[in-house]
Amino acid sequence: MKVLIVGGGGREHAIAWKVSKSPKVTKLYAAPGNAGISEVAECVDISVMDFERLVTFAKEKEIDLVIVGPDDPLVAGAADAFSEVGFRVFGPAKNAAIIEGSKAFSKDLMKKYNIPSAAYETFDDPKKALEYLETAKMPIVLKADGLALGKGVLICNTLEDAKNGVKTLMLDKQFGKAGDRIVIEEFMTGREVSVLCFCDGTDIKPMTSAQDHKRAKDGDKGLNTGGMGTFSPSPFYTDEINEFCMEKIYKPTMAAMKQEGRDFKGVLFVGLMLTEDGPKVLEYNARFGDPEAQVVIPRLKNDIIDVMEACIDGKLKDVDLQFEDNAAVCVVLASDGYPEHYEKGFLIKGLDNFKDKDGYYVFHAGTKLTDEGVVTNGGRVLGVTAKGDDLFKARANAYEAVNWIDFDNKYMRHDIGKAIDEQ
Ligand code: AMP
Ligand code: GLY
Give residue-wise pLDDT tens across range 81-104. 999 999 999 999 999 999 999 999
Question: CATH homologous superfamily for 191-318?
Answer: ATP-grasp fold, B domain (3.30.470.20)
Phi, psi of 393 (to 5 degrees): -70, -40
Looking at residues 309-337, what average pLDDT do you find?
98
400 CB-near residues (< 8 Å, 6+ apart): 386
**Stretch 137-143: mean pLDDT, rounded?**
95
| pLDDT, tens digit (0-9, with 9 covering 90-100), for 346-394 | 999 999 999 989 999 999 999 999 999 999 999 999 999 999 999 999 9
Q: Ligand 1 pocket: which of 155, 192, 277, 285 to mutate (most atoms <8 Å of CB)?
A: 155
Predicted local distance difference test score (pLDDT) of residue 199 = 98
Q: What is the pLDDT of residue 123?
A: 95
Domain 2-93: assigned CATH number: 3.40.50.20
% of the chain residues with pLDDT over 90: 95
Strand ranges (E), 133-276:
140-144, 153-156, 182-186, 191-200, 204-206, 211-212, 215-217, 221-224, 229-232, 265-275
Do the Cβ atoms of 18 and 304 come closer than 8 Å?
A: yes
pLDDT tens sequence across 35-81? 999 999 999 999 999 999 999 999 999 999 999 999 999 999 999 99
**pLDDT value for 168:** 92
Which among 215, 269, 287, 385 is the best mutation to test ligand 2's pocket, defined by most ligand atoms within 8 Å of the CB? 269
| pLDDT tens track for 219-247 | 999 988 989 999 999 999 999 999 999 99
Verify whether ligand 2 is closer than 6 Å to residue 185 (CB atom): no
On whether the 125-180 domain is CATH 3.40.1260.10, my answer is no
Distance separating alpha carbons of residues 406 and 226, to the nearest angstrom: 22
Q: What share of the chain is helix, strand, coil (3-state, %, to 5)?
A: 35, 30, 35
Confidence of residue 7 (pLDDT cuts 50, 70, 90): very high
Q: Whose CA is nearest to atom 8 of ligand 1?
A: 153
Cα(288) to centroid of ligand 2, in Å?
A: 8
Looking at 3.90.600.10, 2.40.50.100, 3.40.50.300, 1.10.1060.10, the CATH number of the domain 327-422 comes to 3.90.600.10
pTM: 0.96
- List the domain boundaries for the chain: 2-93, 125-180, 191-318, 327-422
Ligand 1 atom with minimal separation from the 214 CA: 10
